[in-house]
């Protein structure tokens, strides 16, 4: 009996490999689709926590108000600005210092320190915290030169973020960023 060398794979072997890859893909894709929004939520919470911490430290360093504004309506983003009422280039007055608004009037504007990009896909502000995802008046909090929060209330408040379902509605997987009266920012997990 002569033995012959075989090169390559048989059709049956190739079909079995393709079947195994297909089954693995069917198992992996739903898992990845569940993990991705949770990872985006964690990342966004870290970014906003960092923005709040930067605002607090910059307020002390610059000896002025620094404001974090949340824009949950059309933009779904946030912004950190030096809220001193002055244009950073011309030093002209563009608004009231410490008013909790990043004033922009034509070319005159207060200095923007950090501008967050649009919230990632399937991450939304939590309307259960407040009507616009935060319980701060005007969706902003300012830090004084002493690092203490202030807003049109006590300065104590929260910003809420959730993963969203395919319909865009918030799910039960939420995080809450809370600013204390001392200016500390803490993160807690919420299951609403």
Distance between CA atoms of residues 108 and 131, nearest Å: 31
User: Is 2 a member of any domain?
Assistant: no
The predicted-structure confidence for 57-81, as pLDDT tens digits, reads as follows 999 998 888 888 888 776 678 888 8
pTM score, whole prediction: 0.77
User: Is 162 a member of any domain?
Assistant: yes
Domain CATH for 142:
3.55.40.10
Q: How many domains does the chain have?
A: 1
User: Is 88 a member of any domain?
Assistant: no
43-47, 168-172, 188-192 — most confident range = 43-47
User: Is 180 a member of any domain?
Assistant: yes
User: Is 105 a member of any domain?
Assistant: no
User: Is 103 a member of any domain?
Assistant: no
Where in the sequence is the domain holding 74, given as residue range(s)? 11-83+111-191
User: Is 5 a member of any domain?
Assistant: no
- pLDDT at 192 exceeding the cut of 60: no
User: Is 119 a member of any domain?
Assistant: yes
Q: How far is CA 162 from CA 55, 76, 84, 90, 124, in A?
A: 23, 13, 32, 40, 5
Distance between CA atoms of residues 129 and 80, nearest Å: 21
The pLDDT value given to residue 20? 94
């Amino acid at each position: 009996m002569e033995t012959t060398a075989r090169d390559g794979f048989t059709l049956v072997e190739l079909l079995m490999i393709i079947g195994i890859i297909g089954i693995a893909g069917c198992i992996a894709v739903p898992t990845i689709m569940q993990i991705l929004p949770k990872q985006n939520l964690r990342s966004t919470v870290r970014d906003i926590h960092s923005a709040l911490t930067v605002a607090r430290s910059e307020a002390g360093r610059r000896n002025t108000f620094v404001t974090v504004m949340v824009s949950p309506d059309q933009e779904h983003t946030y912004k950190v600005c030096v809220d001193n009422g002055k244009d950073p280039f011309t030093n002209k007055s563009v608004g009231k210092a410490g008013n909790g608004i990043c004033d922009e009037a034509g070319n005159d504007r207060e200095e923007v320190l950090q501008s967050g990009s649009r919230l990632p896909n399937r991450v939304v502000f939590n309307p259960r915290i407040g009507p616009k995802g935060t319980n701060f008046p005007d969706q902003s909090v300012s830090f004084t030169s002493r690092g203490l929060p202030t807003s049109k209330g006590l300065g104590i408040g929260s910003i809420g973020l959730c993963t969203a379902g395919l319909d865009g509605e918030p799910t039960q997987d939420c995080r809450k960023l809370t600013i204390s009266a001392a200016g500390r920012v803490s993160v807690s997990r919420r299951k609403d």
